[in-house]
Amino acid sequence: MNEHLNAALAYAREHESEFLETLKEVVAFASISTAEEFRPEIEKTAEWVAKRLKALGMERVAIMPTAGHPVVYGEWLGAPNQPTMLIYGHYDVQPVDPLELWETEPFVATVRGENLYARGTSDMKGQVMACLSAIEAVIKTGSLPINLKFLIEGEEEIGSPSLPAWIEANKALLQADFCLNPDAGMLGKDYPTITYGLRGLASFELTVFGPRQDLHSGVFGGAVHNPAKALAELLAGMHDENNRITLPGFYETVRPLADDERVKLAALPVTDDFLKQQTGVPQVWGEAGYSSVERAGGRPTLEINGMISGFTGAGQKTIIPSKAMAKITCRLVLDQQPEQIYAQFQRYLEEKAPATIRWELKMYDGSAASISNIEQPAVKALAQAMQTVWGKAPLYKREGGSVPVVGMVQSSLDMESVLTGFGLPDDNLHAPNEKMHLPTWHLGIEMLIQFLFNF
Amino acid sequence: MNEHLNAALAYAREHESEFLETLKEVVAFASISTAEEFRPEIEKTAEWVAKRLKALGMERVAIMPTAGHPVVYGEWLGAPNQPTMLIYGHYDVQPVDPLELWETEPFVATVRGENLYARGTSDMKGQVMACLSAIEAVIKTGSLPINLKFLIEGEEEIGSPSLPAWIEANKALLQADFCLNPDAGMLGKDYPTITYGLRGLASFELTVFGPRQDLHSGVFGGAVHNPAKALAELLAGMHDENNRITLPGFYETVRPLADDERVKLAALPVTDDFLKQQTGVPQVWGEAGYSSVERAGGRPTLEINGMISGFTGAGQKTIIPSKAMAKITCRLVLDQQPEQIYAQFQRYLEEKAPATIRWELKMYDGSAASISNIEQPAVKALAQAMQTVWGKAPLYKREGGSVPVVGMVQSSLDMESVLTGFGLPDDNLHAPNEKMHLPTWHLGIEMLIQFLFNF
């Protein structure tokens, strides 16, 4: 076994440039799931992934339709009496705007320094390709020590709306001992990280309607409520002076952070200075009574993702806009449910919106938060592999982001997820110039090889 | 004289359709002054106006350069011992977005019902063409009873930035007894109106900067101040609970409305119900202690004209935007000055903006408010002409809009302006589907013919 491991590690080192070329191939697809016009790219990406799974010797490889974008499935069950690992991934990516801020084309992978730049390099085609590269190294040098199943979906960036039904319909197919989910990142390049907590998501679009069309601000200014102003008032009122969210009942079902967990979180290398340096903000901000790392991972939040009203071109246009819109997402913790947040948001608007305007609140799909058991054998196997490669024990963190599939896998398949990944905090996820740190990516591949031999 | 008047009126009635065709010609130019790419259209429009003045027999017609868009000048001084009237107009128009809300092309004049739809029909190519049509009717049927000068500028919709210097440089050329300014509207189609008060304008762009680029709202949400949220807070705080503007010192130089003026304004047919019907808002809004008509004309205001931040496309994008921007204009009354407002705005931001974000405040050109003397002979001549055509005395109103040239003409040329026009409150000024009510326009031409004979 040790011989096979060494051969696999050697294979991985010898094939670093081939692995990189393969990653470049898949990030070239503009598989943006948020807009219908990219559907052909989504389909091409699914086909590419399926082809790649077949090339690795996976069986029953299929592009399986869902109500939305397809799931790519594949399996290899040639290791009787060994555990089966379900590998989760998504092949869709975030939109790329503002396009003008990209230094190079978002779908032309470009190496600059130690990084590979392109949409999806870190979130998460690069993570999926790290798994496939590790598996390739092991397969090409012997037989896989454990059984594998793949669930690679195409709707993660829109909240995986079709996945719950698809998982329910394919429960038998997906049976496995645990799920490896490499869609969570590292706290820094020298900090191998295992994520055990994920926030949920509730996503909204709030529109405020004023006059039936734009008005001349000289003729009507002072006599009607400006909807951009009314929206600003409603948005401003959604946090109180302690930066706590004011949607009625918002904190009622929030599970408090346990004392021992707060102690562990305080030990993470995520200081306020680190956050300021990572983001460029002059000062951190947030809910009173909690540290930044607690707020960003263990507490619920409400964010404006976008906002638009009236005239925003060059120069001036003296109008009162007819309407104003904001996109808002809440990150949820246990035991909040997206539907509750929607009801609370409605109530907030019913109570706070003035009679001088009309409003409309739309909800997108959401997901609940989740916590994984860090005592399961797969977590221990992963921690051991990290210790071997980085020479240190992993950090255990709560992740502020939302990976809806973790909750689905837990509730539908009664399966624990093991969350990790090789993305870094400065990878520009969901932002221009997304990148993957290549030395870390190669270490990740080695670590995954080690991991496969730890069962 | 009476014979000439009757002949001119008859000419105008016979040439209604030619007048309309000429108006359609000039509104076909996209002479949008707010954006550089329309400069060729601006130039074509200036040429068209100059050609038209020449065709009417005006002398010394010239397209005179300024620091920005040119002024079209022309004169006819063949009536010795008679007064000289300077006619002010502007040939530039507002932008047309949101384009998708136009029922017909903004630069293809289209008659629907009693209205002519196109950008500039009401504001104010239609008003300029009413003057030229009236003059044509008088000239084609005899000799003009008074002397004329024309000042037709191309920067009104951007606050006439180049005009003060140009007027100063051309004081001798512009000497006249009064200025007719038809850039003010009517209170309704049965209400001939003379405007005696105009608000000034101070125009700003406020940008709030947060992280150096868009951040993943899951990873950083809760730990940094969302700039869209910070902007919403700053905007919401610009009015207090009585809807009074909170920029420090904002009301200090505001000249109160005189009691007799409040009585006159209360008699105008601008009720809250009228405003609701005109605009479609569920309720009126504004500064406590003042009626809607007082607020829309006689009190200063602060309006958000536009606002943008982050992701505003279809679907969702879970980011914390890197910045947020709002365009804001204040309408000013006597004795407020735009520069004072800028200083107050700066102070507001210095006092209120949190240390968690950075901000930048940009000021566009502004103008002070103005009040005209309604006892001057030209106002009496205009009132008499209105009485003749509509069978009733005009209403005297304060206009909420800003016509910067009125203040310039007063201070540089020591000349009073007579403000009128034939636009209606539902003309969709600065909005999609701008229109001119054609029966009112034709009455306006008749009234102007009568006016020319009242000296």
Sequence-distant (≥ 6) Cβ neighbours of residue A17 within 8 angstroms: none
**Residue B180 located in a structural domain:** yes
Closest alpha carbon within chain A to B312 = A306
**Residue B217 located in a structural domain:** yes
pLDDT digits over B29-56, tens only? Answer: 999 998 889 999 999 999 999 999 999 9
Tally of domains in chain B: 2
Domain limits at B435? 2-198+370-452
Interchain pair A400, B321: CB under 8 A: no
**Residue B295 located in a structural domain:** no
Same domain, A103 and A147: yes
Tell me the CA distances in angstroms from A74 to A16, A40, A77, A232, one per residue in order: 24, 22, 10, 49
Cα A213 to Cα A225: distance, rounded to the nearest angstrom: 13
Interchain pair B295, A211: CB under 8 A: no
pTM score? 0.77
Interchain pair B309, A311: CB under 8 A: no
Same domain, A209 and A348: yes
Same domain, B97 and B76: yes
Sequence-distant (≥ 6) Cβ neighbours of residue A241 within 8 angstroms: none
Same domain, B70 and B133: yes
Length of chain B: 455
Residue B334: both structure tokens together: 């006597």
Short-list A246, A235, A202, A247, CA closest to A324: A235
CB A281 within 8 A of CB A275: yes
Cα B44 to Cα B32: distance, rounded to the nearest angstrom: 12
Sequence-distant (≥ 6) Cβ neighbours of residue A143 within 8 angstroms: A4, A78, A79
Which of the listed residues A315, A337, A363 is the one where a domain comes to its end? A363
Same domain, A71 and A123: yes
Same domain, A21 and A146: yes
**Residue B150 located in a structural domain:** yes
Which of the listed residues A319, A335, A363 is the one where a domain comes to its end? A363
pLDDT digits over B336-394, tens only? Answer: 999 999 999 999 999 999 999 999 999 997 888 888 888 899 999 999 999 999 999 99
| A382, A388, A391, A396 alpha-carbon torsion, rounded to 10° | 10
- Read off the pLDDT band of B1 (50, 70, 90): low
B284, B304, B364, B426: best to mutate for the A interface, most A CBs within 10 A: B304
Residue A107 three-state SS = coil
Short-list B318, B339, B115, B337, CA closest to B226: B318
CB B72 within 8 A of CB B64: yes
Q: How far is B148 from chain A (nearest CA, A)?
A: 30
Query: Residue A246 belongs to a domain with what CATH number?
Result: 3.30.70.360
Same domain, A359 and A418: no
Rg of chain A over Cα atoms, rounded to whole angstroms, equals 23
Cα B417 to Cα B400: distance, rounded to the nearest angstrom: 16
Query: Is the C-alpha dihedral spanning A148, A152, A156, A157 positive or negative?
Result: positive
Q: How far is A38 from chain B (nearest CA, A)?
A: 13
Same domain, B139 and B205: no
Same domain, A59 and A16: yes
Same domain, B41 and B138: yes
Residues of A in contact with B320 (CB under 8 A): 303, 305
Residue type, B326: A
**Residue B290 located in a structural domain:** no
Cα B74 to Cα B410: distance, rounded to the nearest angstrom: 20
Residue B323: both structure tokens together: 């910045």
**Residue B438 located in a structural domain:** yes
The one-digit pLDDT tens for each residue of chain A (455 residues) are 589 999 999 999 999 999 999 999 999 999 999 888 999 999 999 999 999 999 999 999 999 999 999 999 999 999 999 999 999 999 999 999 889 999 999 999 999 999 999 999 999 999 999 999 999 999 999 999 999 999 999 999 988 889 999 999 999 999 999 999 999 999 899 999 999 888 889 999 999 999 999 998 988 999 999 999 999 999 999 999 999 999 999 999 999 999 988 998 898 888 999 999 989 999 999 999 999 999 988 899 999 999 999 999 988 888 999 999 999 999 999 889 999 999 999 999 999 999 999 999 999 978 888 888 888 999 999 999 999 999 999 998 887 777 779 888 988 999 999 999 999 989 999 899 999 999 999 999 999 999 999 99
**Residue A347 located in a structural domain:** yes
Of B228, B314, B356, nearest to A307 by CB-CB distance is B228
**Residue B235 located in a structural domain:** yes
A214, A270, A291: best to mutate for the B interface, most B CBs within 10 A: A214
B305, B361, B364: best to mutate for the A interface, most A CBs within 10 A: B305
* Percentage with pLDDT > 90 across chain B: 84
Interchain pair A222, B331: CB under 8 A: yes
Of A97, A233, A282, nearest to B236 by CB-CB distance is A233
Cα A264 to Cα B24: distance, rounded to the nearest angstrom: 74
Q: Is A256 an 8 Å CB contact of chain B? A: no
**Beta strands of A159-228 (E only): which ranges?**
178-181, 193-198, 200-209, 215-216
Same domain, A134 and A230: no
Same domain, A171 and A212: no
Which of the listed residues B320, B339, B363 is the one where a domain comes to its end? B363
Query: Residue A142 belongs to a domain with what CATH number?
Result: 3.40.630.10
Cα B64 to Cα B69: distance, rounded to the nearest angstrom: 9
Residues of A in contact with B354 (CB under 8 A): 283, 285
CB A71 within 8 A of CB A153: yes
